[in-house]
Amino acid sequence: EVKLLESGGGLVQPGGSMRLSCAASGFTFTDFYMNWIRQPAGKAPEWLGFIRNKANGYTTEYNPSVKGRFTISRDNTQNMLYLQMNTLRAEDTATYYCARSTRVGIWFAYWGQGTLVTVSS
């Protein structure tokens, strides 16, 4: 069974940093692109970026809305996905999800339960 479990959310001050983690299990982690998606309360999800699989060199792509502030990485020995967020703003307040893409396309059949990040003084 595929499982994704995010952690690391909480309250952070504007301008601060935070790192989110996602523990993956139930599948061969290195075979899949892994994504971060966020969703402000009552709004639509926003794709933040992905990190490719082993076959594609673990390279990354980002939404321009967060490029330069957010960094996605993975530890393939621990089956962990990370999102490093810097220079946080109030508008970054949202529930953050990790999600697994499929082998053939970037749609999301598997999501974690989400972790809430609140940026406020």
Partner 1 sequence: DIQMTQSPASLSASLGETVTIECLASEDIYSNLAWYQQKPGKSPQLLIYDASSLQDGVPSRFSGSESGTQYSLEINSLQSEDAATYFCQQHHDYPYTFGAGTKLELK
Where do contacts with partner 1 occur on this chain (CB under 8 A)? Answer: 43-47, 50, 61-65, 97, 102, 105-109, 111-114
The least distance separating partner 1 from the CB of residue 93, rounded to whole angstroms, comes to 17
Which residues does residue 11 pair with via DSSP β-bridges, in sequence order? 118
Nearer to partner 1, 16 or 114 (CB): 114
Nearer to partner 1, 27 or 111 (CB): 111
Nearest to 3 by CA among 27, 34, 28, 39: 27
Burial class (CB in 10 A: 0-12, 13-18, 19+), 92: buried
The least distance separating partner 1 from the CB of residue 121, rounded to whole angstroms, comes to 27
